[in-house]
Chain A
Amino acid sequence: MKIPYYPGCSLKTTGKNLEVSAIAAAKTLGIEMVEIPKWNCCGTVFSLTEDDLMHHVAPVRNLLRVQEMSGNGSVDTPNKMVTLCSMCFNTMKSAAGRVSRNAEDLVKINSFMNLEEDYKGKVQVLHLLEIIRDMGFDKVKEKVSRPLNGLSVAPYYGCMLLRPADIGIDDPEDPTIGKDLFEALGADVVDNPYKKVCCGAFHTVNDKSLVADLGYEILTRAQKAGGEAITTSCPLCAFNLDNRQKEISAAHPEFKQMPVFYFSQLMALAFGLGEEECMFEGNYVDPRPLLKSKNLL
């Protein structure tokens, strides 16, 4: 499968470890992610007001790029695209849905963009996790050369991968996609009752303590459930749950820091890929001592 890939801004900087590990892990599964030429910021948040079309121009421009790729044969998945960042996924899928349902919006945006080719409203926005699920987790299992035996993982989903229900990739109240994936990789999966609780999102900019309070709850509940590490698919959740452990430790001296992996880093590790692909050095809380203690490094 050769599919257009939308990275988004943070995958090129703080979330580089998500991008590098995901592209390598996907390749192992036969999924070639082809970066969309001239992609632009998706806007990060989907504009929720009815009269705001302006902010949908950015995501729709990206959808048009995907449509062009479908037409010029550079990919073999007509009108489909893949994202890695949960927020990009949510914003792009929401915008794609709005213009495909509303012909008037589509006409207005097309005439504003004033490009040679109009966007036809057909692109399907997918998250890599759902492509993997649809391939079947047995396919994942087949590629595992270094099973993550003995590693207790608590999948964290956050908001943008699950909600609203018509956008999310799994049951918004009882998601299982993380559990199924990490079990296929050989890990011991534990259930964190706070797996769907918001990490505080953008408040990390204006109210660090609010984010640290939420992070403390999310991480300590995972620990109480027996988790040694948590996972995410979002560079903002990763920053709030990983980097903000500095603030959590300052507020709670007894707090024991724990690694936060991107789902794709654990895939790359289990698929036997090297340190360059796993990019553990990009994580704030260094996961390597934990992995070494489990003989996984």
Chain B
Amino acid sequence: MISKTEITAKNEAFLRRITELSGVSITRCEQCGICSVACPLVSGMDISPAEMMRTVQLGQEEVTSTKTIWVCASCFTCTVRCPRGLDPSKVAEALRQIELRKAIDYMDISTIPAEEMRQLPQIALVSAFRKLTG
């Protein structure tokens, strides 16, 4: 029995949206998995970078509720290793932006202890707020 995944207009629209936002030709990913091997943070992710690319190819919007998109630190290791010249870092950013533009926060600033706040460099605070708060 052959099982088929039906691609709906909604799936296509999501793929188109992420392709436009990221500027990455997501459909060109051939699922070789090098990004997942290269990623230094993959052990903290719920789906691998290659799976993230696949779910976007299939237009599965649920990918925006994975932990993976928030764990990605945009270190660009996948970017320099992708044999097809794609940039999964940009895809992760586009997925985060879908959430952040709804003014959704992925971290709660009020939970950072005052002492910790005093010690953290501005570079850490600004980049965390840019990446994780909407």
Contact = CB atoms under 8 A, between A and B. Distances in A.
Asked if chains A and B come from one complex, the reply is yes
Interface stretch (A38-46, A71-79, A140-148, A251-259): A38-46
Interface string A199-215: 01111111100100010
Contact of B127 (A14, A44, A55, A196): A44
The residue in B71, B75, B94 that gathers the most chain A C-beta atoms within 10 A of its C-beta is B75
B73 A201 contact: yes
A250 interface: no
A204 B124 contact: yes
Interface stretch (B4-12, B27-35, B47-55, B115-123): B115-123
Contact of A236 (B79, B127, B130): B127
Given A49-B97, A172-B80, A201-B73, A13 B121 contact: yes
Contacts, number: 125
Nearest to A90: B76
A62 to B, nearest CB: 15
A51 B128 contact: no
Contacts of A187: none
Interface in A47-69: 47-52, 55
A47 B22 CA distance: 10
Q: Which of the four size classes fits the interface of chain A?
A: 35 or more
Interface in B38-82: 40-41, 44, 71, 73-77, 79-80
Interface of B: 20-23, 40-41, 44, 71, 73-77, 79-80, 87, 89-90, 93-94, 97, 106-107, 112, 119-128, 130-132
11 contacts: A8-B123, A13-B121, A44-B126, A50-B20, A50-B23, A173-B80, A197-B77, A198-B73, A200-B41, A202-B132, A239-B120
Given A173-B80, A203-B73, 16 more contacts: A10-B121, A10-B123, A43-B126, A44-B130, A47-B93, A48-B90, A49-B97, A50-B20, A55-B130, A159-B76, A172-B80, A198-B40, A200-B41, A203-B71, A205-B128, A214-B41
